[in-house]
Structure 1
């Protein structure tokens, strides 16, 4: 839980506020390749990844399409489902063993009512997820697959080796063979 305490400390949260928030958290552990959330379920948690890598994907025409990853020391959730209280259309999978610190939507709403800092946390998490989404869309519209792969490699060099080639290829919008050629050109 130290990683989360450090994260909040950097944001200027007081020790009392951090303690109140931490008392509402639930630790959840998932094994590599385990589904955390499936299409048709309701996302009940906003989670902070202490360890591991998470993959977001959809299934279209019987094919898995990876559209995002989340890494250590970051928030993740199926934000459309979590905030709108609707069933999700995505799958979220633990690519590696994961340990998550999660707050339920219900507990977060209770914290919002009694703690200004919780509102700040909610805003920060929402802004982080929205910023990530906008950047992803811009990358898809303006960058080549090689540029998208290079950006991911620059941002997450030690984690990229833990993600199977087929998921990386899907994420950048190419087939695995094309990604292999991109990797050869870069190295």
Structure 2
């Protein structure tokens, strides 16, 4: 719970007292490697906060899996549109390792406003933060070449490169596994 507390206080600027008033809304959930938090076509009744482990967010496009994101320790995992609007998910969240989550139901998410009167402003900050991540990903795919995207991900989340299959990393970076291998080999060679 301490990682969640730290993340919520830093992300939303709430006080420790405000956090204490809502911490009971979060419930523990364990997901075994290979199992799903939720899948395409299911309603999304919870958002998850990853305490530890790795969830892969992916979708199917023309019978091909496309990795959209990895939720690791300290990150939220949710199909935000489906969660907020009570729609069916367009993506899957599958555990690449055993995962410990703290989940928040839609009902409890909506009830936060009763506990924290300034939740409307804080929720805007949360949603803006989520969309900023998406915007950054779009900009990097439009303005960076494959090697620059690889370096950026490696600098931000180096642990992924030891724990995630390379084909999933390549998919998220918008490149083929062969291109990813060439970049890794190029960057790992000492400069002479």
Q: Which residue is equivalent to 1:85?
A: 86
Alpha-carbon contact 1:17-1:117 (below 8 Å) kept: no
Kindly report which structure 2 residues correspond to 1:89-104, keeping only aligned pairs within 5 A, or say none: 89-104=90-105
**Aligned-residue offset at 1:118:** 4.0
Taking the aligned partners of 2:88 and 2:138, their CA distance within structure 1 comes to 23
Q: 1:48 to 1:153 in 2, by over 3 A?
A: same
**Aligned-residue offset at 1:95:** 1.5
Q: Which residue is equivalent to 2:2?
A: 2
> What do residues 106-136 of structure 1 show as CA deviations (whole Å, max 9, x unaligned)?
1111222342254455333322211111111
Taking the aligned partners of 1:128 and 1:76, their CA distance within structure 2 comes to 13
SS in 2 for 1:129: helix
Q: 1:2 to 1:166 in 2, by over 3 A?
A: same
Structure 2 regions of 5+ residues with no counterpart? none
SS in 2 for 1:116: coil
SS in 1 for 2:163: coil
Taking the aligned partners of 1:114 and 1:72, their CA distance within structure 2 comes to 26
Q: 1:2 to 1:75 in 2, by over 3 A?
A: same
Runs of 4+ in 1 over 6 A off after TM superposition: none
Taking the aligned partners of 1:68 and 1:8, their CA distance within structure 2 comes to 21
Structure 1 regions of 5+ residues with no counterpart? none
Kindly report which structure 2 residues correspond to 1:1-187, keeping only aligned pairs within 5 A, or say none: 1-10=1-10, 12-116=13-117, 118-187=119-188
Alpha-carbon contact 2:45-2:106 (below 8 Å) kept: yes
TM-score by length of 2: 0.89
> What do residues 147-185 of structure 1 show as CA deviations (whole Å, max 9, x unaligned)?
111111000112321010110111112221221111011
Alpha-carbon contact 1:33-1:95 (below 8 Å) kept: yes
SS in 1 for 2:25: coil
TM-score by length of 1: 0.92
Taking the aligned partners of 1:55 and 1:111, their CA distance within structure 2 comes to 28
Taking the aligned partners of 2:186 and 2:46, their CA distance within structure 1 comes to 40
Taking the aligned partners of 1:26 and 1:114, their CA distance within structure 2 comes to 17
> What do residues 66-102 of structure 1 show as CA deviations (whole Å, max 9, x unaligned)?
1112221122210110112111111111111111111
